[in-house]
Amino acid sequence: MQGTIDIVETAAESADLWEKAGEAVIAHGPWAAAFLIVFFALLGIVVWTLKASVREVRDARSGERASNERAMQLSEKTVETNTQLKDRLDRVLEVQNKILDQMEGGSTT
């Protein structure tokens, strides 16, 4: 509800500004109109530039997030692969130890 009230208040303020601008144009003639046109054009350029900057920052952060997520996935896969390799090496060592035990047992008996 507060958001709607804020929007209505902002629209009313904007309407008041346009009304005052119109009165200034009528009172001061074409120079005031030219000034207002240039002023609002510059204001539009500033707002457009700020929006573009915000969009670039947002895109960069989004890209960082995607990159970080990808790095985490790769890290998890690396940990998983390393765990599998460790398990395989443990099995190989067990088999080697059994073979060595059999060789030692066979030569002594």
pLDDT tens string for the chain (109 positions)? 566 666 656 766 777 777 777 776 677 677 767 777 888 888 888 888 888 888 888 888 887 888 888 888 888 889 889 899 999 999 989 998 888 888 887 654 4
Q: What is the pLDDT of residue 6?
A: 64
Contacts of 52 (CB under 8 A, 6+ apart): none
Counting every residue, how long is the chain?
Answer: 109
Q: What is the pLDDT of residue 4?
A: 62
Q: What is the pLDDT of residue 66?
A: 80
Q: Answer for the pair 41, 48: CB distance below 8 angstroms, yes or no.
A: no
Neighbour-count burial of 79, counting CB atoms closer than 10 A to its CB (0-12 exposed, 13-18 middle, 19+ buried) = exposed
Q: What is the pLDDT of residue 109?
A: 46
Domain count across the chain:
1
Contacts of 24 (CB under 8 A, 6+ apart): 32, 36
Determine if the pTM surpasses 0.85: no
Q: Give residue for tokens 């008996």.
A: 109
* Domain around 28: 2-108
Give CA–CA dist 18/86, Å, rounded: 74
